[in-house]
Structure 1
Amino acid sequence: MDSGIFVDYAMECWSVLREAAPYVLLGFLVAGLLKALLPDAWMTRHLGGRGPLSVIKAALVGVPLPLCSCGVVPAALAMRRQGAGPGATTAFMISTPETGADSLAVTWAMIDPLMTLLRPVAAFVTALSAGLAANLLPERMLRAAPALSGVAVASGCGCGGACSAAVGGHAGAMPVRPSLRARLRGGLGESFGEMLADVGGWLLVGILLAAAISLLLPPDFFSHALGGEFTSMLAMLLVGIPMYVCASSSTPIAASLLLKGLSPGAALVFLLSGPATNATTITVMTRSFGPALTAVYVASIAVCSLGFGLLTNRLYAALGYDIHAVIGVVNETLPAWMETLSALLLLALVLRALVLQRLARAAQCKGALAAPGRLL
């Protein structure tokens, strides 16, 4: 095989990474600030009951938070066990993984401002619809949330650090609130530590896939292979629901698909359904919350994603906005030196976070193995 294709692929990967890196760093900075400034106890205090206000609050709170579809499960279970209503829990489980501060920054960089606006709006409406529908379910169809210890392991998504942090903030007595400086240090440390370790690997996988799509697929692939508007959306939905992909890593994939002729509506379907759920999450949800709530969760994502996909195509057509032309020039908005420096910094931070996470898990395993000996 010609070695030139490997060189071209490596250059394409570097190009995608450079384009996304400044906005990924900005997104994790915002995520750290949110973690530092938003009290953990606020969520469970305001999300109880079956009223629509708790659902609205849960959907709004979830939009900027950078938790993946697996990572949000234990956090939602903790909320449910401390009194959050079924509607608020469901809304939080949808709006949180569908979008976040980091993924919105990357969407702005790699797609366009209109998609950046539509993405959180669609996530909020989807979460609100699912939450209101969940509140209509009779209590006998809902399953009480089990203990958290088994669920974090069962999810098996590799989100151990961020999941544990999300759950830990809701359990036990309310601690004394630390100083602003300590909260900022802790929030930014968690954002560029545990959160980046959980998301960074998947983000790099998304960049690798995006580069492969950009390099290997012909420019008119989707206009020929999936010419029908609804057909392309349904295909993205069927791919997105069982697939594990976080909100950040789905964005470069969607941008590459758009460059190959995918409609903006179909891209939005993938951006909503892909991060919102996966096969593992559906399994854990069925066991933890029951089949009725899981059915409302999945059906709401599917229906709202397709509905917003159709609406998005109509909106782009009405505005005369050619998304395929805009994507090709978005990466020119920042100086080349800033993109290069950001890409190198992001790679270094992801590598550091992954190494620290692996060392922490090894230390935990070693401590668990040594515990019986200490007891003796």
Structure 2
Amino acid sequence: MFEAIIWGAILRVAQAVSQAAPFILTGYIVAAVFRKWIGPTNLRKLFGEGTWRALPQAWALGMLLPVCSLGVIPVMREMKRAGLSSGTILAFGLTAPLFNPLSVLYGLTLSEPFTILSFSLCSLLVVTVIGVVFDWLFPRTADLPSEEPPVPQGIRRIVGVFVAMGREFWSWSTIYILIGLTGIVLLNVILPKGSFQSSVNGGDLWAPVLMTGVAIPVYATPMLAMSQLGTMFQHGNSVGAAFVLLILGAGLNFGIMAWMLCAYGWKRSAGWMVLLLSVVIGLGYALEKPLYPTDIEAADHSHAFDVYCCPFTADETAYASQVVQKLNDDLRAEELFSLYVLLAIAVIGLAVRLIGRSFDLDRWLTSAETPNDPPAGNWDLVLPNWILGGVSIMGLVVASVAMCYAYYPSPEECLDEIFIVKGEVLSAAMSGNAPHALYWIPVWEDWNRRLQVGVYLRGMALSDYHRMKARIVRDQLEMLEHALEDDEHEEVAHYTRQLARAHGRLTRAYQPAPSSTGKL
């Protein structure tokens, strides 16, 4: 069993690092832009520091930037260095990992849009109440930081950002990120494989409290948290537990808690945690009955939380090869690219540290003379740093929105991908190759969801008819998965036929009519 736990921890941490890589990279970029281009004064203006709109503005900015609870750590550290209030920093840090354009669109097709909207507004209520109370109990007493010498325009202004990113990588930010990953190891030790499948069913009075204990050490990306919310709604799990999982599972981890302890001391950190848990659990119980879905048949268990448990059992073998195979299967192109970029940033940071022993790099970056104003008619305009910083931040938001169309392709492309995956699942199930079929079933489920989001994204609507056809396929996939796990050959054959028919009906429903314009 010890060997299973060790290899399970290695797999879970490796999966978390790969999933978090794009968000961590974004966090380092945002922190460097805040520091080198926007600066403390403009950053305080950006977040409305000292005004009534500071907390709502931090919530809104957090919803737009694509970061996770690990990637937000360097951004929070930079905000504190710039002199923002504790309430504003914590409001941003708690909101930014919860929502982004990709996850919100994904969530809108998981359940009724009213549910996702309610969760979003409740997150605003959480950060506003906690921020106001926290700033009232613990007013800021620290002096505002002085502005750093500006980096002049030209190549040095770009080099300055990469230097800041490299330095931030080799700082406490990375240590806090590593601390944030320890929660995954802890859950891998205390939760055996499949042990959390029936723990937060609807109607269970203790479900939100139990989910709180699991959600705090959990690391979940915005997309993972949103997909688990959808699974919980579809299986009739506790709505209160779903809200707790979103706020605490996606918005908090041990790394943020460790940073708070070092930055604000144990009294302030304990006070903030008490406020947070009180408001989140209270809202969870308040949302339970009003938002509980009435058009579903509650299931007695769910596989949504298997990713938080140990992935192996004691009677399994070849753990190392299984870990390598799972990582090869799960690693996405954007995750691999982000890992390579993070490695490059690490190398830059090491080079900066080595160069700094014999050369004053900061003095070189800020000592260049500012050229004279360009002559009339010259298109080579000199833009202030704060404008470049604002454009960079907005560029991240625009890129996040644009990625929605790449991540959620057109219905025709989704159906083509599903056709390929269907062949893998059905042929493996009929031939008795259960491991191969069990690998491809989640892939089919993912494309089934992306098909719905792609339709919603392009038409801003998804009819009940289309939801129903996709839901039937999802239900048949789940039944086939259970039959394969239980090694029930007759049931496998039955659900294979049922799934093939359900897929045919879904294809006809989502394909545009021959006389249409190509839009659903």
Taking structure 1 as the reference length, what is the TM-score of the superposition? 0.54
**Residue from 62, 67, 91 that aligns with 2:87:** 91
Distance 2:221 2:23 in 1: 12
**Deviation of 1:300 (Å):** 3.9
Distance 1:119 1:275 in 2: 23
Bigger Rg, which one:
2
- Is 1:190 the equivalent of 2:164? yes
Distance 2:335 2:138 in 1: 51
SS in 2 for 1:171: coil
- Is 1:281 the equivalent of 2:260? yes
CA spacing shift, 1:120–1:180, aligned 2, 3 Å: farther
CA spacing shift, 1:352–1:312, aligned 2, 3 Å: farther
- Is 1:79 the equivalent of 2:54? no
- Is 1:125 the equivalent of 2:104? no
**Deviation of 1:345 (Å):** 1.9
Distance 2:175 2:335 in 1: 19
2:36/2:161 contact within 8 Å kept? yes
2:59/2:127 contact within 8 Å kept? yes
Q: Corresponding residue for 2:153?
A: 179
Q: Corresponding residue for 1:348?
A: 343
Number of matched residues? 310
1:152-182 CA-partner distances (Å, limit 9, x unpaired): xxxxxxxxxxxxxxxxxx5225744643765
1:36/1:188 contact within 8 Å kept? no
2:196/2:305 contact within 8 Å kept? no
Distance 1:188 1:214 in 2: 36
CA spacing shift, 1:36–1:326, aligned 2, 3 Å: farther
**Deviation of 1:4 (Å):** 6.5
Paired residue type of 1:179: Q
CA spacing shift, 1:304–1:183, aligned 2, 3 Å: farther
Paired residue type of 1:68: I
**Deviation of 1:301 (Å):** 1.9
1:204-244 CA-partner distances (Å, limit 9, x unpaired): 5555653774695232426349987553433554677xx7x
CA spacing shift, 1:311–1:42, aligned 2, 3 Å: farther
SS in 1 for 2:42: helix
Q: Corresponding residue for 1:304?
A: 279
Distance 1:18 1:30 in 2: 19
- Is 1:234 the equivalent of 2:195? no
Distance 1:251 1:197 in 2: 23
Q: Corresponding residue for 2:242?
A: 264
Paired residue type of 1:305: V
Give 1 or 2: higher helix fraction: 1
Written as runs of structure 1 = structure 2, the 5 A alignment for 1:194-205 is: 194-195=168-169, 197-204=171-178
**Deviation of 1:338 (Å):** 1.5
CA spacing shift, 1:43–1:282, aligned 2, 3 Å: same
**Deviation of 1:124 (Å):** 4.1
**Deviation of 1:194 (Å):** 0.5
Q: Corresponding residue for 2:198?
A: 223
1:310-369 CA-partner distances (Å, limit 9, x unpaired): 57766574796999678999x99x995626733752673586488679x68x97xxxxxx
1:224-280 CA-partner distances (Å, limit 9, x unpaired): 49987553433554677xx7x7xxx83269969x69999422312423454796377
- Is 1:250 the equivalent of 2:255? no
1:80-101 CA-partner distances (Å, limit 9, x unpaired): 6xxxxxxxx2431322332447
**Deviation of 1:305 (Å):** 2.0
Q: Corresponding residue for 2:379?
A: none
CA spacing shift, 1:238–1:305, aligned 2, 3 Å: same
1:181-200 CA-partner distances (Å, limit 9, x unpaired): 65554335434540575444
* C-alpha RMSD of the superposition: 5.8
Paired residue type of 1:338: A
Distance 1:19 1:175 in 2: 36
Distance 1:7 1:183 in 2: 45
Written as runs of structure 1 = structure 2, the 5 A alignment for 1:321-332 is: none
Q: Gaps (5+ residues) in structure 1?
A: 81-88, 148-169, 364-376
2:34/2:78 contact within 8 Å kept? no
Paired residue type of 1:79: G
1:232/1:266 contact within 8 Å kept? no
1:269/1:308 contact within 8 Å kept? no
CA spacing shift, 1:217–1:194, aligned 2, 3 Å: same
Q: Corresponding residue for 1:145?
A: 141
Distance 1:113 1:351 in 2: 35
Paired residue type of 1:304: V
1:32/1:187 contact within 8 Å kept? yes
Distance 1:131 1:2 in 2: 43
CA spacing shift, 1:344–1:177, aligned 2, 3 Å: closer
- Of structures 1 and 2, the one scoring higher in RCO (CA 8 A, sep 6+) is 1
1:209/1:253 contact within 8 Å kept? no
Identity %: 14
Q: Gaps (5+ residues) in structure 2?
A: 111-115, 308-325, 358-520
